[in-house]
Amino acid sequence: MTRKLCYQLYLSWENDSSIYMDMSLFSKYQYDENAVNQYFDSKQNSSRILFAILKGEKPIGELQLKEINMTSKECTLSIHLQNDTVKDKGYGTRAEQLAIQYAFDVLGMVAVNADTIIKNTRSQHVLEKVGFQFIRQENGFKYYRYER
């Protein structure tokens, strides 16, 4: 992800209710360039890689490998597509497959973790489809893990 791609991504961003356990926190997304700059800057550190998901040259989502631990060789995957127009078209599945491959082949990870809130059945379905194993359910979350 570059700063410019991040601006483009968030210009057409919509928040998705499926990631909110507490719906009182859900609101319509409003673009704010300063907030996007702060967001982008906050993701630049050695334990995280922020990827843009591109359709052609256009960003349609973001995927993070975060909590990268080079000692235990584990990290955590998170993903969010831009808005409903690009969901349910296979892009999330493909992005997760590529990110897992990157985590194992480039970063040398031995496991990738992921979690979703219980109501987010689409995300759970995609995680399982690409090969994550369900590990446990705790405090409103379902935890998944992919081991090579």
Ligand X SMILES: CC(C)(COP(=O)(O)OP(=O)(O)OC[C@H]1O[C@@H](n2cnc3c(N)ncnc32)[C@H](O)[C@@H]1OP(=O)(O)O)[C@@H](O)C(=O)NCCC(=O)NCCS
Contact residues toward ligand X (CB under 6 A) are 16, 18-19, 79-81, 87-93, 116, 120-123, 125-126, 129
Measured from the CB atom, is 70 or 135 closer to ligand X? Answer: 135
By the 10 Å C-beta count (0-12 exposed, 13-18 middle, 19+ buried), 84 is classed as exposed
d(CA 116, CA 8): 26
Q: What three-state secondary structure class fits 135?
A: strand
The CB-of-58 to ligand X minimum distance in angstroms stands at 15
For 40, 51, 73, 85, the CA distances from 2, given in Å and listed in that order, are 8, 9, 26, 22
Measured from the CB atom, is 81 or 108 closer to ligand X? Answer: 81
The CB-of-64 to ligand X minimum distance in angstroms stands at 10
The CB-of-25 to ligand X minimum distance in angstroms stands at 15
Measured from the CB atom, is 12 or 18 closer to ligand X? Answer: 18
The CB-of-141 to ligand X minimum distance in angstroms stands at 9
Amino acid (1-letter code) at residue 145: R
